[in-house]
Amino acid sequence: MEKILEVKNLKKYFEIKKEGLKATESHILKAVDGVSFDVYKGETLGIVGESGCGKSTLGKTILNLHQKTEGEILFHGVDIGNLSPAQMKPYRKRMQMIFQDPYSSLNPRKKISYLLRQPMRVHNLDKEIDVEARIDQLLTIVGLDVKYKNRYPHQFSGGQRQRIGIARALSLNPEFVVCDEAVSALDVSVQAQILNLLMDLQKEFGLTYIFIAHDLAVVELISDRIIVMYLGRIVEEAPKVSLIANRLHPYTKALFEAFPEMNPRNRRVKKIIVGDVPSPIDPPSGCHFHPRCPFAKDICKSHYPDLKEVSPGHKVACWLYE
């Protein structure tokens, strides 16, 4: 299979300054801390994790919306993490993002037609194609009536706005789309519509998705492969089928165990992991999960385990599988 994207040892650190009474303290927040994975053409790679695990930062760093701290982001073999804005521009056309909040991701002062025209104008496509026809086509593709194109974003409901966001992302014919919590702000019944739309569009246009979400059921539904992150690192990576059959990392187990099932007869006494997610500014030593892990050993407290392949395509970073 063709690799679209190769991420190698990617790091994104933020410097956080706390001004105290005596001195300014500077902390490093390791939002993404040495992450490597590949994305293959036509697949959906799901990334799950709880707040503060770095999944959104990862998505934005891959698209060069955040300047990476270290590592490589190879898009068709080219490290886009080092490109200047001008050099990056042709790549922007090929990789797009769908955002979480359908209320803030559309400029409130612009008409829908403007929002859809803008990317084509910026990339000088307006000289090559009939932009107005393209706008109509895009609206039809995402299931909106063409007659609404001269309205403003606030006149649409959340689900309709998310459709507009999707139409805009598709306007440049991208091959690779990062969906960052693309359905989590929507009502359940609308969420289902948008998920269907995303799956249909993928089939129709051969899109490759990275699907970032905290909702495990959504990720398991839409993804072919899944990455589980905890405090800036990948703890498990596996094809969906393999992950459902065999959740290896104790964190993955705990996460899926905690997810409420749709069956009231399955209310079991759950093994609920204790404690909060630690702050990514000062993560625990060794394996970041060890303070909450029921299987923690001595080595977990001092050394971080490598991500190792334990069965074809199924990788886990845990000392239990060494």
Partner 1 sequence: MENNKFLDIKGLNVSFYTQKGVVRAVRDLDLWINKGETLALVGESGCGKSVTASSIIRLIPSPPGKIESGEIFLDGQDILKLSEEEMQKIRGDKISMIFQDPMTSLNPVFKIGDQIAEIFITHYGLKKKEALERAVEMLDMVKIPSPEKRVKSYPHQLSGGMRQRVMIAMALASPHPGIMIADEPTTALDVTIQAQILDLMKELQEKIQMSLLLITHDMGVVAEMASRVAVMYAGRKVESADVYSIFEKPFHPYTVGLLNSMPSNEKYKHNARLEAIEGNVPNLLEIGDGCPFENRCKYAKDICRNKFPEIKDMGNNHHVWCHFAGELNF
Partner 2 sequence: MSFLKLFKSENVANNSESIWYENWQLLKKNKSAMFGLYIIIFFVLIAIFAPVVAPFDPYAQNIDIRKLPFFSWPYILGTDDFGRDILSRIIYGARISLVIGFISVSISLIFGSFIGLISGFYGGWIDKISMRIIDIMLAFPYILLTIVIVALLGPTLLNAMIAIGIARLPQYARIMRASVLAEKAAEYVEAEKSLGVGNVELMFRSILPNCLAPIIVQATLGVGSAIIESAALSFLGLGAQPPTPEWGLMIASAREFVSSAWWIVTFPGIAILFVVLGFNLLGDGIRDVLDPRLKD
Which residues of this chain interact with partner 2, rule CB under 8 A?
Answer: 60, 63, 65, 85, 88-89, 92-93, 96-97, 99-101, 104-111, 118-119, 122-123, 145, 148, 150-152, 154-157, 160, 165, 168, 172
Helix (DSSP H) and strand (DSSP E) numbers for the chain? 10, 12
Q: How far apart, in whole angstroms, are the C-alpha atoms of residue 47 and residue 179? A: 10
Q: What are phi and psi of 147, to 5 degrees?
A: -70, -10
DSSP string, 58-87: HHHHHTTSS--SEEEEEETTEEGGG--HHH
Q: How far apart, in whole angstroms, are the C-alpha atoms of residue 278 and residue 177? A: 30
Burial of 194 (0-12, 13-18, 19+ CB in 10 A): buried
Least distance between partner 2 and beta carbon 211 (Å): 16
Nearer to partner 1, 177 or 216 (CB): 216
Nearer to partner 1, 111 or 214 (CB): 214
Q: Which of partner 2, partner 1, none does residue 32 bind (CB under 5 to 8 Å by kind)?
A: none
| Residue 275 DSSP label | S
Q: Which of partner 1, partner 2, none does residue 85 bind (CB under 5 to 8 Å by kind)?
A: partner 2
Binding site for partner 1 (CB under 8 A): 50-51, 157, 159-160, 187-193, 195-196, 199, 214-218, 220-222, 254-255, 257-267, 270, 272-274, 276-277
Nearer to partner 2, 69 or 100 (CB): 100
Residues 321 and 253 sit within 8 Å (Cβ to Cβ): no
CA dihedral 316, 320, 321, 322 (to 10 degrees): 110
Q: Which of partner 1, partner 2, none does residue 312 bind (CB under 5 to 8 Å by kind)?
A: none
Least distance between partner 2 and beta carbon 182 (Å): 12
Least distance between partner 2 and beta carbon 234 (Å): 23
Output the six-digit token pair for 152. 């403003």
Q: Which of partner 2, partner 1, none does residue 273 bind (CB under 5 to 8 Å by kind)?
A: partner 1
Nearer to partner 2, 154 or 271 (CB): 154
Least distance between partner 1 and beta carbon 207 (Å): 16
Least distance between partner 1 and beta carbon 156 (Å): 9
Strands 225-230 and 176-180, bridge-based pairing: unpaired
Least distance between partner 2 and beta carbon 216 (Å): 24
Nearer to partner 2, 106 or 238 (CB): 106
Q: Which of partner 1, partner 2, none does residue 172 bind (CB under 5 to 8 Å by kind)?
A: partner 2
Q: Which of partner 1, partner 2, none does residue 168 bind (CB under 5 to 8 Å by kind)?
A: partner 2
Least distance between partner 1 and beta carbon 38 (Å): 21
Among the listed residues 224, 214, 160, 146, the one whose alpha carbon sits nearest the alpha carbon of residue 190: 160
Among the listed residues 168, 226, 270, the one whose alpha carbon sits nearest the alpha carbon of residue 39: 226
Q: Which of partner 2, partner 1, none does residue 77 bind (CB under 5 to 8 Å by kind)?
A: none
Residue 309: how many CB atoms within 10 A of its CB?
11
User: What beta strand segments (E) does 127-197 contain?
Assistant: 176-180
